A and B are shown apart, each in its own frame.
Chain A
Amino acid sequence: MEGLVLRPFPPGDYDVVVVGTGPGGLQTSYCLSRAGVGHALLSADDAPGGMFRRFPVFERLISWTKPEAPCGRRTREYECYDHNSLLAEEPDARGLVADHMDRSFDVPARAEMEAGIADFVDRTGVEARYGCRWTGTRREDGRFVLETTDGEYRCRMAVFAIGMTEPWSPPLSGAEHATHYVDTGPAESFRDKRVVIIGKRNSGFELAYGLLPWTRSLTLVSPRPVDISVIAHSPLRLRYLQPYEEYARGSAGVQVVDAAIVGIERGADGLRVVVDGTTWEGRLALPADEVILATGFRVPLGDLRELGLVTVVNDRVPALTRFWESVSVPGIFFAGNVTMAARGLQKNGLSSNSSSVNGFRYNARILARHIAEQLGIEQPRPALARDQVVPLLLDELAHGPELSIQKGYLARVVSVAEATGIRDEGVLPLEHFVDGGAGTDAVAVAVEMNAEGEIYPAVYVRRNGEIEERELDPHPIRAFGGDPYRRELERLLAPLLGS
């Protein structure tokens, strides 16, 4: 019966089409189903996993999953200890990445992550039309038409969970002499070579870390200095800092240079990377046998720009609203790591964690609810008794994974209105709450971090359209559920809840 295997989601009309089966697309599809939204999930790949089927090059993730924790692996609180698994309502589909780790390291290997994602798909039954590549987009009669290798999909809204997968490099003289991160060969092919890596963010240091045992010399160069003053604010993760530490300690064999790249030249003795200092004055020519561009990625937007999609950061990512919708093409949404383009309040310069699974899995759940409501599918807003409000908010501040992972970005919201009573509005973008204007009276709580790296709860009370912001004290072990916090929250909420 070969050829008669039924594939889900044939071309046709859908309310929503989701493109991509990496963690962002799968989480969005799962949450849309839970929110009651009919949709198609399409993927150019032949199996789930997205970028984790191929990256990172050196096979280790940078975000941790801790197999043992004070709470069970199938609980919601475990999400605080597991930054890689997708979210599920069914307990047996939670915390799955940990099940696949051999514990040789504190973070999952790429293959373990891929296996965890496949397991999630098996256990939740998320279906996708694999081998169906999105090739073009147009608007017709107020709907979007997604052209694919299998035919045309018409929809009211489309969600692109297509990752930051297209190699990007700035215009660079002599770029043809370099290879991009994605094309890096095996580490042993760099044996005894002089290697210059252009770029000092995660992918640059990841390569440096992987190549350190093999190269004769290793130089990382980019205009921006490495900022490790506050690790939590830094784009680097501690585990890749060894090459930097070796340089900072004055070790031979690794150099970290702050300089703008003038160009790459080929000479008699191999390549030369010519650079101008940014934190020092002058010009250097760095000799190299291999030059690798660890200059990042951009979103493979295809022809979306032709619909008027506005982009940002040198045309690398779409400019997004706080609900991850294009600022210029309503109805086009993004999920997955692209949601980092919706930057939120950035209070005290703090970035979201939306660029990795631990952050964007929550964005996907909020996005699914938002899309459902736009389609007129009402979402639950459980009623609360007055005396349930403070305990709920305290518990969320102390244990809520959304608030502790998406610091200063997501908030737990409770509304108070005469007509509807006290309602649990769930988790929402904090920026949406503070800009809600003359919305109903409500309170939002968030966990935030200040410039000194102190983590503290913040309370935003909205009454008669005015927002009052209150930052509570930090706690040495972040026990935000204790009595002093309860008393302060009761005091702040008294005018809102009445006595």
Chain B
Amino acid sequence: MAEVQDVLARLSLFADLAPAQREAIAHRFEEEVFSEDERVLRKDLRGSALYVILDGNAAVVIGDKEVTRFGPGDFFGEISLLTSEPPNADVVAVTMLRCLVIPGPDFQPFLLEHPGILFRMLQAEARRLRDTTEWKVSS
């Protein structure tokens, strides 16, 4: 497995950063590995974090139903942090999953320190919203 900062360099969320800034992020936040079927984000439990997938896949699960799937470069957990509400779904590792974890209390300062990441995250949210809307219209 490559060094975390090298993996970050390949993800669009961190594309606008200088190498030294990516190194600082890799130093500041921890990497965590989840085994297959392990819960990463827990419905109705408070105090969670932002997860950025470095390697592997995760599924959003409501009840027993997989709603959507995330892969490398995707992130999750931000809705709960932005709304200060517990997550409304579980996110479960569907393969061995490697994530960078940005704890809840660090989330806002992290985004405000890195407007480039904030903008990239907003773009990703817009795409998700568009896809959800298209799905609703076509279904």
Residues of A within 8 A of B (CB): 170-171, 222-225, 230, 233, 258-260, 276-279, 310-315, 319, 321, 327-328, 343, 345-350, 434-435, 448, 450-451, 467-469, 471
Bound Cα distance A347, B104 (Å): 8
Q: Are B46 and A469 in contact (CB under 8 A)?
A: yes
Question: Could you tell me how many residues of chain B have their Cβ less than 8 Å away from some Cβ of chain A?
Answer: 35
Q: Is B91 an interface residue (CB 8 A)?
A: no
- Nearest opposing residue in chain A for B45, CB measure: A469
Q: Are A349 and B103 in contact (CB under 8 A)?
A: yes
CB proximity of B53 to chain A, nearest CB, Å: 14
Q: Are A223 and B23 in contact (CB under 8 A)?
A: yes
Bound Cα distance A70, B44 (Å): 39
Q: Are A314 and B3 in contact (CB under 8 A)?
A: yes
Q: Given the complex, which residues of A lie within 8 Å of B26, measured CB to CB? A: 223
Choose from A223, A327, A450, A451 the contact partner of B33 (Cβ within 8 Å): A327
Most buried by A among B19, B39, B45, B47: B47
Choose from A223, A259, A348 the contact partner of B47 (Cβ within 8 Å): A348
Residues of B within 8 A of A (CB): 1, 3-4, 18-21, 23-24, 26-28, 30-35, 38-39, 42, 44-49, 86, 96, 98, 101, 103-106
Q: Given the complex, which residues of B lie within 8 Å of A171, measured CB to CB? A: 3
CB proximity of B49 to chain A, nearest CB, Å: 7
CB proximity of B23 to chain A, nearest CB, Å: 4
10 contacts between A and B (CB under 8 A): A224-B27, A225-B28, A230-B105, A314-B31, A315-B1, A319-B33, A347-B46, A434-B42, A435-B38, A467-B44
- Nearest opposing residue in chain A for B105, CB measure: A451
Q: Are B96 and A328 in contact (CB under 8 A)?
A: yes
Q: Given the complex, which residues of B lie within 8 Å of A233, measured CB to CB? A: 105
- Nearest opposing residue in chain B for A349, CB measure: B103
Q: Are B47 and A170 in contact (CB under 8 A)?
A: no
Q: Are A223 and B24 in contact (CB under 8 A)?
A: yes
Q: Are B31 and A313 in contact (CB under 8 A)?
A: yes
- Contacts A347-B47, A349-B49; is A224 near B42 (CB within 8 Å)? no
Q: Given the complex, which residues of B lie within 8 Å of A224, measured CB to CB? A: 24, 27-28
- Contacts A346-B101, A349-B104; is A311 near B24 (CB within 8 Å)? no
CB proximity of B26 to chain A, nearest CB, Å: 8
Q: Are A345 and B3 in contact (CB under 8 A)?
A: no
Bound Cα distance A287, B65 (Å): 60
Interface Cβ pair total, 8 Å cutoff: 96
Q: Given the complex, which residues of B lie within 8 Å of A343, measured CB to CB? A: 30, 32
CB proximity of A47 to chain B, nearest CB, Å: 34
- Contacts A223-B27, A278-B23; is A467 near B45 (CB within 8 Å)? yes
- Nearest opposing residue in chain B for A275, CB measure: B20
Choose from B24, B96, B105 the contact partner of A258 (Cβ within 8 Å): B24
Q: Given the complex, which residues of B lie within 8 Å of A349, measured CB to CB? A: 47, 49, 103-106
Q: Are B104 and A259 in contact (CB under 8 A)?
A: no
Query: Which 3 pairs show the lowest CB-CB distances between chains A and B?
Result: A349-B103, A347-B47, A319-B33
Most buried by B among A314, A315, A348, A349: A349
Q: Are B20 and A260 in contact (CB under 8 A)?
A: yes
Q: Given the complex, which residues of A lie within 8 Å of B32, measured CB to CB? A: 312, 319, 343
Q: Are B39 and A435 in contact (CB under 8 A)?
A: yes
Choose from B4, B33, B44 the contact partner of A310 (Cβ within 8 Å): B33
Q: Given the complex, which residues of A lie within 8 Å of B21, measured CB to CB? A: 278
CB proximity of B27 to chain A, nearest CB, Å: 4
Q: Given the complex, which residues of B lie within 8 Å of A258, measured CB to CB? A: 24
Question: Given known contacts A451-B104, A468-B44, what 16 new A-B pairs fall within 8 Å (CB)?
Answer: A223-B28, A260-B19, A276-B20, A310-B96, A315-B1, A328-B96, A345-B42, A347-B46, A347-B47, A348-B103, A349-B104, A349-B105, A350-B47, A448-B47, A450-B47, A469-B45
Q: Are A312 and B31 in contact (CB under 8 A)?
A: yes
Q: Are A313 and B30 in contact (CB under 8 A)?
A: yes
Q: Are A278 and B33 in contact (CB under 8 A)?
A: no
- Nearest opposing residue in chain B for A325, CB measure: B35
Q: Are A328 and B1 in contact (CB under 8 A)?
A: no
Bound Cα distance A278, B30 (Å): 18
Bound Cα distance A448, B104 (Å): 15
Bound Cα distance A170, B31 (Å): 16
